[in-house]
Chains A and B, each alone.
Chain A
Amino acid sequence: MHLFDEIIRDIRDFMDTPRAGDPVRRFSIDLPPNWPPAGPRDIVLKADLGVELGGPSSESAAFLVWTGDPMLVQDGRMTLIGPDLDPAAGPELSFGKVMLLAARDFDEENSYDRFRRMSQVRFDVSPKGCMMRAVGQAMREWRRVSREALERGFSLVVLGRALASAYRALGFVEKVEILFVTAGPEAVRGLADIGRRAQIRLDALTRMAGELIFDCRACEYKDLCDQVDDLKAMRRKRMGGRPGVVKMP
């Protein structure tokens, strides 16, 4: 599937664009997770807080994109634009996160289910002292990292290793690359602009997978589907060769 290839190229441009004052660093996350999972009472309150990322009053942009072209993903690489989890950078940071995945054997039938499985992974990754709340459609991800976790060495690299391992466990994910942005609201807003374009494609995919009665003539995503080969192929499959309107099972 190549639904997001153009967007992945834009993300790559975003990573490579020089920004005054914002360090761009690259790390390997191609190692097993090295942090214990959260226990049953691992809520992080403000009183325990080391750093808050992408909270309700900060900018936040988090999304995932995938491709069938493994060459587009730098496996095991994490790019960080901005400071790592350093309380000196301030208790609240804007937060951007993109999961770039190379995944095999996607087709018109399994794309939506696999997307759902991939989008669920972040809820299953719960390192001790790093609490998360997220709203997929709004592309918001809110993390609180406890002071104790920071003192023990928790960092975005630790989080990246845990995430990479969890995505690889899906089996059909071959490569995992992560972009984190903590450089400030403007940088995260720039990432959100790209994310919104990815979200429109996901919305079209979701619409096609979920509609009981699908009428291309009345669908707001028709122009997009006309342009994007994977969506076009999904539509053809759904319609079973009949033009115009299809009733989903």
Chain B
Amino acid sequence: MSDQTDLPPPIIALCGKGGVGKTSLSALLTTILAADPKRRVLAVDADPAAGLAAALGLEVARTVDDVRNELIGRLRQGIREEGRDMQALADYRLFEALEERDNIALLAIGRPESEGCYCRVNDFLKVLVGELAAGFDAVVIDGEAGIEQVNRRVMTGVSHLVLVTDPSERGRRVAESIADVAERAGMRARIGLLVNRVREEGEVRRIQAATRLPVIGYVPEDEAVYRSAREGLDMTGLTDNPARFALERAASSFIGFRSAI
């Protein structure tokens, strides 16, 4: 990751099978990146399970979906607005929706879009989320299982796609199918496989032998992380922690940022 401000910020999306620990790793990665107080990090909770806020010690009052519904409500009421006015309102509401903690801001996407096709509103919001993200030094997206949902509901332009798997065969296959979709869609993101909840190194070797994806690292099973995830606790305090150290090693080489530690 370049810390040069004239380049677009790295946009890192974590995707993978449900239950492999995407949210915990997204929270830890956000905290790792934000350890440098000069680096402002946008965390985007794009998982309908919406656990990233709690993992970052934040509460969500408004989501992008709420903003979308407000805009659609205005259209349904027959309030006619020029595109620029709608854009200004949406931009205001998106900034209002940010939950902040030090140099971390969180944007929750909310539930998947409901009835009706409001392409104009959806496209507006995607562009605006992208513009908002461009104001930060790094963006971490806790994605749904697939990258196509991130592209459709959050933003395009992901620069680093971290496919998270546990040591299971099923997790690896889901990760590979997500990579296939990304490649077929012509995504230019760097793609890497991160193996989570590893109990012994043999599990990583088995994954490495079976996959065509580059394995960027592994994160050991960690009781503190597991407990925090299970109980919906704030993970930002997990600083002296083997899982975090392992993630930092993997991410700093894959994304290319300078560690603050």
- Chain A residues at the B interface, C-beta cutoff of 8 Å: 39-43, 45-48, 56, 116, 120, 123, 133-137, 140, 142, 210
Contacts and interface: CB of A to CB of B under 8 A. Distances in A.
A61 to B, nearest CB: 15
Interface in B87-121: 88-89, 91-92, 95-96, 100, 102-103, 105
Given A41-B40, A46-B100, A47-B102, A134 B88 contact: yes
Nearest to A134: B88
A215 to B, nearest CB: 15
Contact of A47 (B8, B103, B134, B136): B103
A48 B137 CA distance: 14
Contacts of B6: 39-40
A236 to B, nearest CB: 23
A2 B54 CA distance: 55
A135 B88 contact: yes
A60 to B, nearest CB: 11
A42 B135 CA distance: 6
Interface stretch (B78-86, B147-155, B172-180, B248-256): B78-86
B103 A41 contact: no
B108 to A, nearest CB: 17
B9 interface: yes
Q: Which of A41, A46, A47 has the largest number of chain B CB atoms within 10 A?
A: A41
Contacts of B91: 133
Contacts of A134: 88, 92
A150 to B, nearest CB: 18
Nearest to A38: B135
Interface bracket on B: 20 to 34
A116 B135 contact: no
Nearest to B100: A46
A120 B40 contact: no
Contact of B82 (A43, A116, A133): A116
Nearest to B91: A133
Given A40-B134, A135-B92, 13 more contacts: A40-B6, A40-B8, A40-B135, A41-B5, A41-B40, A41-B137, A43-B136, A45-B103, A133-B88, A133-B92, A133-B95, A137-B81, A142-B92
A22 B6 CA distance: 43
B105 A40 contact: no
5 contacts: A41-B5, A41-B134, A45-B40, A133-B92, A136-B85
Contacts of B8: 40
Contacts of B89: 135, 137
Nearest to A57: B96
Contacts of B136: 41, 43
A39 B135 CA distance: 9
A172 B116 CA distance: 44
Contacts of A42: 135
A46 B106 CA distance: 13
Contacts of B137: 41
